[in-house]
Amino acid sequence: MDINCDLGEGTGNDEKIMPFITSCNIACGGHTGDINSITETIRLAKKYNVKIGAHPSFPDKENFGRVPVEMPEEELKNELRQQILLIEEIADKERVKLHHLKPHGALYNLAVNDKKTAKIIIDLMRDQGKGLSLYLPFNSLIEVLSQKYKIPYFYEVFADRAYREDLSLVSRKESGALIEDPQVIYQRVKKMITEKKVVTILGKEVKIKVDTICIHGDNPNAVEIAKLLNSLI
């Protein structure tokens, strides 16, 4: 079992979290991040032997990549290629290899069921992400396309985000979307792993598959959550 975290996002707790995770998703300039932050995060990952992933997003720092951006398909493809190229170049200089790709925020959420967005991510993996695995949610359109185009992938679940019955995430604008209690998170993740079920925001149990567990670095209790979940693997 893998524990991943979105890092390089300026939260200031990356080094405290890094010892307790096994892979990280590094912001590469879309929602946040620059040469300095990417380099610093890659070096921390090397220090703690953590797998490194690219975390591209819509180019929208103002909304932290959490709002869909209307833009021409080729323009979005080029933007995402540039983000991947940036982190690849830095990884090469630091003599490390990227392990995976995980879209960020609105880009990730759209790719779950929007064919156009999902295909853009698949094309990115076939072109710029050769040799990488894709982190994606169970029972999604992008999972189907990954199978069709033979893209290697891992099922990702979110430790600290509330789910709906269709396995979509509850919007951060809604109450209860972000779960902060480390003990509550520990028990729900344990259920995902041992029973392959997640309890939704309405209290229903829904089937889910998990290979990698995501913790959000901006969760107020991210470090404590990482420590607790580390004991599960």
Q: Do 31 and 61 form a contact (C-beta atoms < 8 A)?
A: yes
Residue type, 70: E
Q: Is residue 187 part of a domain?
A: no
Residue 77 in any domain: the answer is yes
The reported pLDDT for the residue numbered 129 is: 86
pLDDT > 90: percent of the chain: 96
Q: What is the pLDDT of residue 176?
A: 92
Cα–Cα distance for residue pair 66/104, rounded to 1 Å = 8
pLDDT for 70 equals 95
Q: How much of the chain exceeds pLDDT 70, in percent?
A: 100
pLDDT exceeds 90 at position 178: yes
Does residue 122 form part of some domain? Answer: yes
Name the burial class of residue 93, with classes exposed (0-12), middle (13-18) and buried (19+) by CB atoms within 10 angstroms of its CB.
exposed
**Distance of alpha carbon 40 from alpha carbon 17, whole angstroms:** 14
pLDDT at 225 > cutoff 90:
yes
Alpha-helical runs (H) found in 176-233: 182-195, 222-230
12-56 residue pLDDT tens: 999 999 999 999 999 999 999 999 999 999 999 999 999 999 999
Give residue 151's pLDDT band: very low, low, confident or very high (50, 70, 90): very high
Q: Is residue 201 part of a domain?
A: no
Which pLDDT belongs to residue 111?
96
Work out the pLDDT band at 232, boundaries 50, 70, 90.
Answer: confident
In one-letter notation, the amino acid at residue 222 is A
Closest by CA position to 76, among listed 114, 23, 42: 114
Which residue's structure tokens are 């979105």?
6
In a domain, 197, yes or no: no
Whether 65 is covered by a domain: the verdict is yes
Q: Which domain holds residue 35?
A: 2-160+210-230
pLDDT, tens only, 191-207: 999 999 999 999 999 99
Q: Is the pLDDT of residue 233 over 90?
A: no
Q: Tell me, what's the pLDDT at 46?
A: 98
> CA-to-CA distance for 100 and 116, rounded, in angstroms?
21
Domain count, the chain: 1
DSSP run (H or E) holding 4: strand 2-7
- The pLDDT of 171-186, averaged and rounded, is 94
In CATH, what number is assigned to the domain containing residue 114? 3.20.20.370
Averaged pLDDT of the chain? 96
pLDDT at 71 over 90: yes
Torsion angle of alpha carbons 77, 83, 85, 91, nearest 10°? -150
Question: Is residue 166 in a domain?
Answer: no
Q: Is the pLDDT of residue 121 over 90?
A: yes
Residue 128: is its pLDDT beyond 90? no
Q: Assess if residue 79 is contained within a domain.
A: yes
Residue 226 C-alpha from the chain's centroid = 15
